[in-house]
Chain A
Amino acid sequence: MSEEEAYEFVMNTLRKEAIVPLDHEEIDIVRSIEKCMNCGSCINLCPVVAAVGMDTFSGPRSIAIELSRSTPEFWTSANMIFLCTGCGTCRENCPHDVDIPMIVNLLRWVIYKQRPELIPKQLLEVQNRLEKHSLAFEPWEDIEDKNESRDVRIEQLGIPFVKDRKGVKAEVLFYPGCQAEERAQEVREAAKYILVRLEVDYCLLSEMSCCGLPARLSGAKELARDLEKKLISKIKETGAKKIVTTCAGCTSSLSEIIENSGVNVKVYHIIEYLMEEVDEAKLKLLFERGRGTSESTITIHDPCHLIRHTSRMIMYYASIILRMIPGVSIKPSSAFDSCCGGGGMVGYHSPHVASRVTEVNVKAIERTGAERVVTPCPLCTTQLENELFRSNVVVDVDDFTVFIAQQIARGER
């Protein structure tokens, strides 16, 4: 038997036994669960357990000590494993760094390999779209319609339009992510406007392409890797040394894939960029010019992908920046850092679970009495907006980038 034949033979046996071999990186993830000491600190804090109970979602401890342990029949956990929002609360609070969100991705992938019919069909649809368009959303059929929707949105928000900078080389690449590219276009426009006002040498990708996070979260590892590769080569083409994003998921996901790819590019959420790369006086001046035009009391929602997958420092910066704006006062919400429910693709296939998770936020936001919620992620913005509306709570929701752009635009007029 040749080496290849032997390999095929082994692989066939594994397939028959429904055993899915892991690579080195994945074995490291599995190793992290060996450190679980079964203390249960995580179940006390998991927002999904809080929302639907341990019987429906057995929770992070069970993922660590039961669902992910040595059975080939991992698919039996499909009813639970797709309910995790990947918020990372368990990992952040775990005394031993057990990496539950990564284990969840891994299990989803194993289930995808073993019993693809158990993957919620909404996730398969997302995967199809990603395969077809390299985008998480169906692209607009008519570009005119897309532009019109964009213009209406930014007009309402009072954000001036600035032209796209594509196909040029620049120091900074602005990467809006699928949501801001196809749906929440105002976020993309707001970021461009801010960068222009700050005289940043920036460009956009000639053609937007997804970072692969939705694929990874829905169990399609191979697809995620293809998308990552594609994006990395596009990033290299721009010659950018810095990438600025406006989406929480993109920030953590890009940080991860850039780090793994070894490309020498630094990833920033726009908050970090404003804090670390922009002269504070310059930013303050732009805010000052709009002084007196608006007063507002806001509350802040912390996106999981920023605080628990990237760094809590980012939201610390966000509050520093927001405090620079004259007329803005911040009211802390008791659920500021509780998952919005929209993560981990849960909103796609189990919206009732996502809504239950968001309920906690809705109540806490209402209690603050603030006029608006500001959150630096278009996905959280949408999830919160929908749930506040459904619950008849009259509080505006603004993406952070949009909110900042509006303040700057006020000074321009």
Chain B
Amino acid sequence: MDLEPDVLVIGGGMAGLVAGTVAAQDGLDVLLIRRGQGSTAMSSGAIDICGYMRGATVHFESPIEAIQTITRVHPLHPYSIIAYDEGGIVPEKSIKYIKDATNWLKKQLARSIAAIEGDLSRNLMQLTQIGTTKPTCFVQGSMVHPGLYDNDSRPLFVGIRGHSDFNAAITANTFLQYRMDIDMAPRIVLNEMIDLSPHGRHHNIASIEIARFLDTEEGLEKITSILKNEVKRTGATHVVLPAVLGIERAIDNAKHLSKETQATVFETLAFPPSVPGLRLQMALDRIFQASGGTLILGHKAVSGVFKGETLVEVKASGPKRKISIRPKAAVLATGKFISEGLLGSQKGVREPLFGLVTVTGEFYDASEEYPRRHTRPIPFTNRGHDIFQFGVPVDENLRPVDYNGRAKAENLFAAGAIIAGYDFSSEKSGLGVALTTGYVAGEKVIRNIRSDI
């Protein structure tokens, strides 16, 4: 059967789901196909807007400040591209879009399993699973830790026996060292190991298992009584947990535990596969479906048919069937290397679906660039890795462009990590760019179909 939706969204991470939801909420018939999880599900579930200028060692106090700088220094950054107006960049336009997008998302996620807190006027210094901190802007309700950095705080780091993702002693130690480096260490930092075996054994426990266990009454009761004792015994003001507080009930659980123990109980930022990342992904999936969008998982877009300057058909394949989709407009939100929105090999970097032009961070042709030449031997540096900036160049309407700078198709838009010109990793801007470009692409698609652009 051929499908003829108004909008086809290819890729279901933050960017695709936001674009799809925005379009569906406007009454358009939206079909989203996705071949697997991408980096949204792998993220820590905290939404970075912008934490650093690439290469800088000091972070931005606020995302607003960050956007004002970036739009002035990097004219081809996605945050700048959306700010083009009559040929020039108007930083306020970018800030307005980011405000609209984040307010919108906050509202959509309210009461979901990934409800977020935070605002654009400041970056939060969020504690990670290894005891370091990272600037981010919006965190899920189960992650907030007010007062943690006060001098009189008394944090208790709690690990779970058999859960190898989180070592409370090491994390506590790193935390203390970092705080001492800046002369702001609390007087006392505690750590403890507790027993919380979801399946009756104390080895090989995955974060997800604990999260599932804490979604049950039994699990919640168990952890409540343990933590109550621990806090009473130690006089802790904060209880630092790995990101395991639940899949469906994490936020309520955090509130409940904080109330019962009289300490601030919260989750740290986690590495993949993180439970909060999964919560964010699930919440976005649900919002999209609730807005009337159709989500078809397990299908990979494999080719497109263009007629003149219009994308007329996208072919997709599932495990054993092929489908043809003829949308009025499409959003390409296939992500970067992790989700194979871009493919890199010795031969160069290409966009496998439509064969779009790819460029480096400096906007040179990337089709013959050897990816390894654009990475550094040190994994984490403030300069990042140039390879992360590779992507598809877009025009001010977020349409991928050809070598002449003209839109490849008037009805094809791009959003998220597939777009060239920024480095999510050194800037700490990943989900923020995906959200904002997804939101803008959603609006562009609506206007395209309602025949304005």
> Does the CB pair A55–B298 fall under 8 Å?
no
How long is the Cα–Cα vector from A228 to B318 in the complex, in angstroms? Answer: 23
Task: Please tell me if A309 contacts chain B, counting CB pairs below 8 Å.
Answer: yes
> Does the CB pair A95–B36 fall under 8 Å?
yes
A76-97 interface code vs B (CB 8 A; 1 in, 0 out): 0000000000001000111111
Task: Please tell me if A54 contacts chain B, counting CB pairs below 8 Å.
Answer: yes
A44, A96, A276: the one contacting B1 at CB < 8 Å is A276
Task: Please tell me if A37 contacts chain B, counting CB pairs below 8 Å.
Answer: yes
CB closest residue in chain B, given A56: B199
Q: How far is the CB of A256 from chain B (nearest CB, A)?
A: 7
Interface residues on B, range: 35 or more
Q: Which of A45-53, A134-142, A176-184 contacts B (4 or more CB under 8 A)?
A: A45-53
**A37-B1 contact given A44-B278, A316-B294, CB 8 Å threshold:** no
Task: Please tell me if B180 contacts chain A, counting CB pairs below 8 Å.
Answer: no
A301-325 interface code vs B (CB 8 A; 1 in, 0 out): 0000001111111101100000000
- The residues in A between 172 and 197 inclusive whose CB is less than 8 angstroms from any CB of B are none
> Does the CB pair B275–A310 fall under 8 Å?
no
User: For A52, what are the chain B residues with a Cβ–Cβ distance below 8 Å?
Assistant: 199
User: For B321, what are the chain A residues with a Cβ–Cβ distance below 8 Å?
Assistant: 255, 310-311, 313-314
> Does the CB pair A53–B198 fall under 8 Å?
yes
How long is the Cα–Cα vector from A43 to B340 in the complex, in angstroms? Answer: 20
Task: Please tell me if B73 contacts chain A, counting CB pairs below 8 Å.
Answer: no
Task: Please tell me if B37 contacts chain A, counting CB pairs below 8 Å.
Answer: yes
CB closest residue in chain A, given B300: A97
User: For B35, what are the chain A residues with a Cβ–Cβ distance below 8 Å?
Assistant: 97
Interface residues on A, range: 35 or more
B1, B36, B205, B272: the one contacting A317 at CB < 8 Å is B1
Task: Please tell me if B233 contacts chain A, counting CB pairs below 8 Å.
Answer: no
> Does the CB pair B318–A313 fall under 8 Å?
yes
> Does the CB pair B1–A275 fall under 8 Å?
yes
> Does the CB pair B273–A50 fall under 8 Å?
no
B1-41 interface code vs A (CB 8 A; 1 in, 0 out): 10000000000000000000000000000000001111001
Q: How far is the CB of B326 from chain A (nearest CB, A)?
A: 15
Q: How far is the CB of B199 from chain A (nearest CB, A)?
A: 3
Interface of chain B: mostly helix, strand, loop or mixed: loop
B209-238 interface code vs A (CB 8 A; 1 in, 0 out): 100100000000000000000000000000
> Does the CB pair B41–A41 fall under 8 Å?
yes
User: For A40, what are the chain B residues with a Cβ–Cβ distance below 8 Å?
Assistant: 272-273
> Does the CB pair B37–A94 fall under 8 Å?
yes
- The residues in B between 279 and 304 inclusive whose CB is less than 8 angstroms from any CB of A are 294, 296-299
Task: Please tell me if B453 contacts chain A, counting CB pairs below 8 Å.
Answer: no
> Does the CB pair A97–B36 fall under 8 Å?
yes
> Does the CB pair B273–A55 fall under 8 Å?
no
User: For A307, what are the chain B residues with a Cβ–Cβ distance below 8 Å?
Assistant: 297-298
How long is the Cα–Cα vector from A55 to B357 in the complex, in angstroms? Answer: 47
B248-282 interface code vs A (CB 8 A; 1 in, 0 out): 00000000000000000000000011010010000
A39, A275, A308, A317: the one contacting B298 at CB < 8 Å is A308
Q: How far is the CB of A273 from chain B (nearest CB, A)?
A: 12
**A252-B199 contact given A43-B273, A55-B205, A58-B204, CB 8 Å threshold:** no
**A41-B272 contact given A53-B201, A92-B298, A316-B296, CB 8 Å threshold:** yes
Task: Please tell me if B153 contacts chain A, counting CB pairs below 8 Å.
Answer: no
Q: How far is the CB of A44 from chain B (nearest CB, A)?
A: 5
Task: Please tell me if B379 contacts chain A, counting CB pairs below 8 Å.
Answer: no
> Does the CB pair B297–A92 fall under 8 Å?
yes
How long is the Cα–Cα vector from A334 to B173 in the complex, in angstroms? Answer: 42
**A312-B298 contact given A41-B37, A44-B275, A49-B209, CB 8 Å threshold:** yes
**A55-B203 contact given A37-B338, A41-B273, A312-B318, CB 8 Å threshold:** yes
> Does the CB pair A43–B208 fall under 8 Å?
yes
How long is the Cα–Cα vector from A312 to B318 in the complex, in angstroms? Answer: 8
Task: Please tell me if B339 contacts chain A, counting CB pairs below 8 Å.
Answer: yes
How long is the Cα–Cα vector from A49 to B321 in the complex, in angstroms? Answer: 29
How long is the Cα–Cα vector from A170 to B320 in the complex, in angstroms? Answer: 25
CB closest residue in chain B, given A256: B320
> Does the CB pair B37–A95 fall under 8 Å?
yes
> Does the CB pair B318–A311 fall under 8 Å?
yes
Q: How far is the CB of A271 from chain B (nearest CB, A)?
A: 11
- The residues in B between 320 and 357 inclusive whose CB is less than 8 angstroms from any CB of A are 320-321, 323, 338-340
Q: How far is the CB of B247 from chain A (nearest CB, A)?
A: 9
B201, B205, B212, B272: the one contacting A50 at CB < 8 Å is B212
> Does the CB pair B296–A312 fall under 8 Å?
yes
Task: Please tell me if B42 contacts chain A, counting CB pairs below 8 Å.
Answer: yes
User: For B198, what are the chain A residues with a Cβ–Cβ distance below 8 Å?
Assistant: 53
> Does the CB pair A310–B319 fall under 8 Å?
yes
- The residues in A between 89 and 134 inclusive whose CB is less than 8 angstroms from any CB of B are 92-97
**A95-B209 contact given A39-B273, A276-B1, A313-B1, CB 8 Å threshold:** no
Q: How far is the CB of B285 from chain A (nearest CB, A)?
A: 12
A8-44 interface code vs B (CB 8 A; 1 in, 0 out): 0000000000000000000000000000010111011
User: For A45, what are the chain B residues with a Cβ–Cβ distance below 8 Å?
Assistant: 278
Q: How far is the CB of A31 from chain B (nearest CB, A)?
A: 15
User: For A310, what are the chain B residues with a Cβ–Cβ distance below 8 Å?
Assistant: 318-321
Q: Considering residues B201, B278, B294, B318, which has the most beta carbons from chain A within 10 angstroms of its beta carbon?
A: B318
B212, B272, B323: the one contacting A313 at CB < 8 Å is B323
How long is the Cα–Cα vector from A54 to B297 in the complex, in angstroms? Answer: 25
User: For A44, what are the chain B residues with a Cβ–Cβ distance below 8 Å?
Assistant: 41, 206, 208, 273, 275, 278
Q: Which 8 A-B pairs have the closest CB atoms?
A: A53-B199, A40-B273, A311-B318, A311-B321, A55-B204, A255-B320, A92-B298, A41-B37
17 A-B contacts, Cβ less than 8 Å apart? A41-B42, A43-B273, A44-B278, A49-B208, A50-B212, A55-B162, A55-B199, A92-B297, A94-B36, A95-B37, A95-B338, A97-B36, A307-B298, A308-B319, A312-B297, A312-B318, A314-B321
A residues bordering B, Cβ < 8 Å? 37, 39-41, 43-45, 49-50, 52-56, 58-59, 88, 92-97, 252, 255-256, 259, 275-276, 307-314, 316-317
Given A93-B37, A256-B320, A309-B320, list of 7 further CB < 8 A pairs?
A: A39-B272, A39-B338, A41-B272, A54-B205, A94-B37, A310-B319, A313-B323
